[in-house]
């Protein structure tokens, strides 16, 4: 497998995430969707779905990032494959193979969501960018936190979020990040939803953060769009 350093980070990420991808990401060889377009079309896959796969592959294909803290690390690297769905429900396609033996697939949803699919579809983030932003924030928070606390199952309900604000750049759906006065909280409910397993909920609390630890290059009060170029 050929590896290439990232010298052209895709647009649409915050400075924090762009730095994370540039420093820690590499590109590996990935199959071209265009080479298989006629094969997909011949098996009844709509042309617009193949177009979505091709656009994903062009933007993200072959991007290998450090493992996520949950979902046994996430996809090994991004690669569009295995479209499935119906005209009424919409179409999903695989976002990349698993790093480890998890009981679900990493998928891109009908509206571009990044999530996991097994018993149920669980969109984790509204976009692929949101997943990458969450990876970057995990790496940043773990580096600067004085203490990291793990909470699971029903105990997640006891986390006080009333004085916190959601971190917008992660575009959280089943998973979301919250920012407080000196802490960041990541709440993961994707496996609980996908596998109908409520006790699978997990939260990580990163405590003892200063302003840099809380924001890490994303200016306080800025919308995600203001931090992108």
User: What is the rounded CA–CA span in Å between residue 73 and residue 99?
Assistant: 6
User: What is the rounded CA–CA span in Å between residue 204 and residue 208?
Assistant: 13
Burial class (CB in 10 A: 0-12, 13-18, 19+), 43: exposed
Tens-digit pLDDT profile for residues 13-42: 999 999 999 999 999 988 888 888 999 999
The two structure tokens encoding residue 117 = 């699919």
Could you give phi then psi for residue 46, rounded to 5 degrees?
-60, 150
Which stretches of 7-98 are assigned E, i.e. beta strand?
26-28, 63-64, 81-86, 90-96
The two structure tokens encoding residue 37 = 């377009």
Please state the rounded mean pLDDT for residues 108-130: 96
pLDDT of residue 102: 95
Please state the rounded mean pLDDT for residues 43-61: 94
pLDDT class of 109 with cuts at 50, 70, 90: very high
Tens-digit pLDDT profile for residues 145-195: 999 999 999 999 999 999 999 999 999 999 999 999 999 999 999 999 999
Please state the rounded mean pLDDT for residues 90-106: 95
Asked if 99 contacts 93 with a C-beta cutoff of 8 angstroms, the reply is no
User: What is the rounded CA–CA span in Å between residue 67 and residue 74?
Assistant: 6
pTM of the model: 0.91
């Amino acid at each position: 497998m050929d590896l290439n350093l990232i010298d052209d980070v895709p647009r649409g990420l915050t400075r924090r995430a762009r730095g994370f991808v540039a420093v820690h990401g590499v590109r590996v060889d990935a199959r071209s969707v265009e080479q298989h377009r006629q094969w997909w079309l011949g098996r009844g896959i709509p042309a617009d779905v193949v177009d979505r796969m091709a656009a994903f592959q062009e933007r993200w294909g072959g991007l290998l990032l450090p493992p996520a803290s949950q979902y046994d690390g996430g996809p090994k690297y991004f690669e569009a494959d295995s479209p499935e769905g119906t005209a009424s429900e919409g179409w999903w396609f695989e976002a990349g193979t698993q790093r480890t033996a998890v009981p679900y697939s990493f998928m891109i949803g009908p509206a571009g969501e990044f999530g996991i699919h097994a018993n149920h579809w669980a969109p984790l983030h509204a976009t692929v960018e949101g997943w990458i932003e969450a990876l970057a924030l995990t790496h940043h928070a773990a580096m600067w936190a004085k203490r990291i606390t793990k909470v699971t199952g029903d105990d997640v309900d006891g986390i006080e979020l009333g004085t916190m604000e959601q971190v917008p750049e992660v575009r959280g759906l089943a998973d979301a990040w919250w920012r407080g006065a000196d802490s960041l909280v990541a709440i993961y409910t994707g496996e609980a939803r996908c596998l109908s397993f409520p006790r699978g909920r997990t939260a990580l609390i990163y405590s003892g953060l200063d302003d840099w630890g809380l924001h890490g290059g994303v200016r306080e009060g800025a919308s995600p769009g203001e931090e992108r170029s």
